[in-house]
Amino acid sequence: MAMNADEGQAAGKPPNGQASQNNASLQCLAQYTKDFSFENPNAPRSLQPQQQPPNISVQVNVNAKPLAQGDVEVELLIEGKAGEAPNLLFAFELVYGGVFRLTNIPEDSAHPVIMIECPRLLFPFGRQIIADAVRQGGFPPLFIDPIDFAGLYRQRVSEMAAAQGQQTPTV
């Protein structure tokens, strides 16, 4: 079945099979475990039934650094632990990275894309690595709740703006 130029344009395709030069895109070129640590310091005692559920704490941080033109490495740092010393059940630290290519994304939108969308794409993979490690450490898998990276970004921007507003110039 033949398609004329008007039908192609109506379907969102550029004429003559040319690629559109102004479509914004985000590509994940690679993703990888950069660093990972899991500790089960009190095994086998820690594997016995506990009287109370442990206090579980998780911290998440995002770092990014430019690579080649339009490419950026984004690192998702997830740290956590269950219990407190001297009765620590387990602790973990994961640095999960990805290389992303930003194409035709306006400069004023690049930072939010890097700090919101890239970690949002990496998070499910990091979450699974942690769940598997905790399970293989002898505990029920730890499934970290989904993270609102947009909310975290807005909070960080507000904190930075407040910190800059409170600084007094040195004379």
Domain at 120, CATH number:
3.10.420.10
- Number of structural domains the chain divides into: 1
In a domain, 10, yes or no: no
Per-residue pLDDT of the chain (171 residues; tens, 9 = 90+): 343 434 444 444 444 444 445 688 999 999 999 999 999 998 888 888 888 888 999 999 999 999 988 899 999 999 999 998 888 999 999 999 999 999 999 988 999 999 999 999 999 999 999 999 999 999 999 999 999 999 999 998 888 888 887 654 544
In a domain, 58, yes or no: yes
Half-sphere exposure in the Cβ direction for 45 (13 Å, CA): 5
Domain containing 43: what range?
A: 26-155
Q: Which of 61, 90, 63 is nearest to 78 (CA)?
A: 61
In a domain, 166, yes or no: no
In a domain, 30, yes or no: yes
pLDDT reported for residue 167: 55
In a domain, 12, yes or no: no
pLDDT reported for residue 44: 87
In a domain, 150, yes or no: yes
In a domain, 20, yes or no: no
Strand order in the sheet with 25-39: 25-39, 90-103, 71-82, 56-66
In a domain, 109, yes or no: yes
